[in-house]
Amino acid sequence: MDEKIDVVVVGGGPAGLNAALSAAQMGAEVLLLDAYPAPGGQYYRQPPQHLADHPTPHQRQGRQLWQEALASGVKIRSNVTVWYGDAEKTLIYHSNQGSIALHAKAIILACGTFERPVAFPGWTLPGVLMTGGAQTLLYHGVLPGRRVLLSGSGPLQLVVAKKLLEAGAEVVAVLEGSSRLLRRGMRHFAGVWGQWERLGEGLSSLATLMGRRVPYRFGWGIVAAHGEQQVERATIARYDEHWRPIPGSEEQVACDTICIGFGFVPFTTLGKLMGVKHIWSGDWNMEIPERDETMQTNVSGVFAVGDGAGLGGARLSILEGQIAGIAAAHQIGYGGTRAVAALQKLAPKVRRERAFQKMYTDLFAPGKGLFELAKEDTVICRCEGITLEQIRRARAMGASSISEVKAITRAGMGECQGRMCGLHINHILAQWTNKTPAEVGLNPARPPVFPLPIQALLLEQES
């Protein structure tokens, strides 16, 4: 089944919802595709049904935005998987009704992020989870553990630690990999000015930790997790400026849960499949799409917005979504001078948010030492069970690219398609081959972007 539409937005988070709303307000016919049961993404994540009567402020904001988009004529299809796209602005998505092809005049990619995986001894033990995963469990009223250690970087750790305390957990410590935050932050005073809501949330969380006497240690991080059947304790250490553990500083901490939060990685696979040019961000050690001031990529009519196009937070995502929605609608003939005026009004707001983004990157971008924590028997590719030693053997056989390691070991061939191990293998090879991560590169994009039922592929072949 094929459909034609003006603008298709992929992703229903802050960027996607605002892009869809803005394009619709300019007069375009808009369809928003989202993988979740209800739009909102991670930032506006809607509560489960039994908690729907007690939404958080963010959830109320997301619900209001969602309803406003519907009222403006945006069509929303939830619980769908977009698994193919190309430079001709064709998308294919799968739902319980089968696979449907869309032919759009413009496409806005708001695909979001996934949490940055870090492989260290014991990271596959039950009880080790990502900070965002812990936050999701808390949203659903589930306590991730009783005695929790948090290790990572950035203010999300403080927010989750506060929620854990409020839910009844004991937080044994919060470890912040960055050091000298205050001194470094003073260089970005202009970027922080006016960000009172963000500062207030962080200070409120910090006050809760101090009131409960939770240690908050700068320049410290995880080294290893230990336990027989699950996490029982952790080894932590002071990190140097490159985030390598300093010998002799190691300590043992008793815990049953370890929350790891070293930031996020943009999901760029769909854009790469469509021919979008990507550049390497040395600050965050990841790929991001190259865009112009309207968020359009090198592929005409294809826009990329939000954290899926470069980490900047919800406020920047909202602005980028609005710009891309207006620009996409204007490009295909809607909005006229009203669209031009709206774009001019948004430009200075984006510049202010980018100043904050620069500050955040300088303070919290993780160091390359994180990719050196794994030992020879540490599993790097969880889907296929491939260890660092097996990757080293592949290198000894001549493998110098991720694709060659994949061909020899199957690392990256599992259900996550390399999202959990790709960056780690990239940095391992860069170190072993004396290349930069950008020179090593990541796996090429191939359809399907996400795992699909075999039946869906058979139906697509028949059609």
Taking the C-alpha atoms of residue 216 and residue 299, their distance in angstroms, rounded to an integer, is 45
**Which pLDDT score, from 0 to 100, does residue 114 have?**
92
Q: Domain check: are 101 and 136 in the same one?
A: no
* Two structure tokens written together for 87: 């430079």
pLDDT at 456 over 90: no
Indicate if the pLDDT at residue 215 is higher than 60: yes
pLDDT of residue 343: 96
- Statement: residue 181 has pLDDT above 70: no
Strands (E), 317-391: 379-381, 386-387
Is residue 92, in this structure, part of any structural domain at all? yes
Domain boundary among 261, 286, 307: 261
Q: Can you give the pLDDT at residue 141? A: 87
Q: Residue 182 domain-assigned?
A: yes
Is the CB of residue 140 less than 8 Å from the CB of residue 445?
no
- 324 in the same domain as 217: no
Q: How far apart are the first and last CA of the chain?
A: 8
Q: What is the mean pLDDT of residues 412-425?
A: 91
Please tell me the predicted confidence (pLDDT) of residue 312: 85
Q: Which residue would you say has higher pLDDT here, 360 or 404?
A: 404
Residues 78 and 174 in one domain: no
Q: State the pLDDT confidence band at 432, using cuts at 50, 70 and 90.
A: very high
**Same domain for 109 and 126:** no
Mean pLDDT of 85-109: 94
pLDDT, residue 283, reads 74
Residue-averaged pLDDT of the chain: 90
Same domain? For 257 and 269 the reply is no
In the predicted structure, residue 12 carries a pLDDT above the cut 70: yes
The predicted structure's pLDDT at residue 462: 56
Q: Are residues 145 and 241 in the same domain?
A: yes
Q: How many domains does the chain have?
A: 3
> Is 455 a residue whose pLDDT tops 80?
no
Q: Is residue 42 part of a domain?
A: yes
What would the mean pLDDT of 163-181 be, rounded to a whole number? 92
What confidence category does residue 56 fall into, taking pLDDT thresholds of 50, 70 and 90?
confident
Burial code (b: 16+ CB inside 10 Å, e: under 16) for 30-45 equals bbbbbbbebbbbbbbb
- CA dihedral 360→364→368→373, nearest 10 degrees, is -150
- Pair 131, 139: CB distance under 8 Å: no
- Kindly state the percentage of the chain with pLDDT values over 90: 69
pLDDT band (50, 70, 90) for residue 175 = very high
Instruction: Check whether residue 141 and residue 83 sit in a common domain.
Output: no
CATH code for the domain in which residue 56 is found: 3.50.50.60
Q: Between β-strands 128-130 and 257-261, what pairing exists: parallel, antiparallel or unpaired?
A: parallel
Using pLDDT thresholds of 50, 70 and 90, give the confidence band for residue 242.
Answer: very high
Average pLDDT for 417-438: 92
177 in the same domain as 235: yes
Interatomic CA distance for residues 418 and 306, integer angstroms: 22
Angle at Cα 158 formed by Cα 217 and Cα 124, nearest 5°?
A: 80
Cβ contacts of 392 within 8 Å, gap of 6 or more: 376, 432
Asked if the model's pLDDT at residue 272 lies above 70, the reply is: yes
Is residue 131 domain-shared with residue 255, that is, in the same domain? Answer: yes
Domain co-membership, 125 together with 248: yes
Q: What is the CATH number of the domain that holds 426?
A: 1.10.10.1100
Domain extent for 436: 369-440
pLDDT in tens, 339-391: 999 999 999 999 888 887 887 787 888 888 999 999 999 999 999 999 999 99
Pick the last residue of a domain from 196, 231, 261. 261
Among 8-12, 223-227, 230-234, 309-313, the least confident range: 309-313
Reported as a single tens digit per residue, the pLDDT across 291-335 is 999 999 999 999 999 999 988 888 999 999 999 999 999 999 999
- Is 179 a residue whose pLDDT tops 70? yes
Q: Does 421 lie in the same domain as 319?
A: no
Check pLDDT > 70 for residue 233: yes
Q: What is the pLDDT of residue 459?
A: 56
Helix, strand, coil fractions of the chain, as percent rounded to 5:
40, 25, 40
Contacts of 66 (CB under 8 A, 6+ apart): 12, 17, 38, 39, 40, 44, 76
Mean pLDDT in residue range 181-188 = 58
The residue-averaged pLDDT of 46-62 equals 76
Residue 237 lies in a domain: yes
169's torsion region: left (phi>0), alpha (psi -120 to 50) or beta? beta
In a domain, residue 448? The reply is no
Q: Is residue 328 part of a domain?
A: yes
Domain termination residue (choose one: 261, 289, 304)? 261
Give the residue carrying structure tokens 């922080």: 192
Indicate if 249 and 156 belong to the same structural domain.
yes
pTM score, whole prediction? 0.92
| Residue 447 falls inside a structural domain | no
Q: Is 461 exposed, middle or buried (0-12, 13-18, 19+ CB in 10 A)?
A: exposed
Specify whether the CB–CB gap between 149 and 253 falls below 8 A.
yes
- Is residue 340 in a domain? yes
